[in-house]
Amino acid sequence: MLAYQDETMDWEGIRISTPARTWLDLCRLLPIEHAVAVGDQLVRLPHDGLELRAKPWATIQELREMLRRHPKMQGIVKARAAVELIRVGADSAPETFLRLALVDAGLPEPELQVRVVADDPYSPAADLGYRRRRIGIQYDGAHHLTREQQSRDNRRDACFHTAGWHYFKFNADDLANDFRRAAGLVRAALRES
């Protein structure tokens, strides 16, 4: 039984725990990087026209409120560490894992959704990168294998290359290797720029 009524919600006639409460409950079961990835997805801004919602499932403040309400809950130490690593802007768990791997490798934390032209909402964006150093980093998951997505990706990639950025694309092979090669390549680019 949940201690607070506002930690439940109605979903299609079924009473369930809120996304923020579910995240807290999962923190005792998941490794920290997965707790961060789930948190990143909860606070992610939905893509206009592509999703059936207009706001995030939760906010970082709502996740922090769960921590405040349940200071002795199993997994609370991990949840406290995870909430400090959650960021708005990751569109997938592998993007979160890539960001965390770069930081774990001793690199500066990258920005998320880095556009070629910062103030242009129509400018192509890399999943993460270092704007001041002109380094863009993309994680290409399975959906990037469709012909239509590859055409969009090719246009995005060309924009970064034309603008003179160091530009990297990583995939499931890099994820399986804990992004070690990725960290090395990005480290070298940071030294050069």
Q: Which conformational region is residue 140 in: left (phi greater than 0), alpha (psi within -120 to 50 degrees), or beta?
A: beta
pLDDT value for 2: 54
pLDDT of residue 82: 98
- Section 86-109 average pLDDT: 97
Average pLDDT score, the chain: 92
Counting residues of the chain whose pLDDT is more than 70, the rounded percentage is 95
* pTM tops 0.95: no
Q: What is the mean pLDDT of residues 107-121?
A: 95
d(CA 45, CA 88): 7
Amino acid 144: pLDDT = 55
Residue with the two structure tokens 């995870």: 82
Helix (H) or strand (E) holding 134, with range, is none
Res 190 pLDDT > 90? yes
SS3 content of the chain, % helix, strand, coil (to 5): 50, 15, 35
pLDDT for 22-45, tens place per residue? 999 999 999 999 999 999 999 999
Q: Residue 101: pLDDT band by 50, 70, 90 thresholds?
A: very high
What is the Cα–Cα distance from 27 to 50, expressed in whole angstroms? Answer: 29
- Please count the residues of the chain: 193
- Residue 71 pLDDT greater than 90, yes or no: yes
Between 127 and 1, residue with greater pLDDT: 127
Average pLDDT in the 109-130 region? 95
Residue 159 CA: distances (Å) to CA of 18, 110, 126 = 40, 20, 11
Kindly tell me if the per-residue pLDDT of 116 is higher than 90: yes
Domains of the chain: 5-83 (no CATH), 93-192 (3.40.960.10)
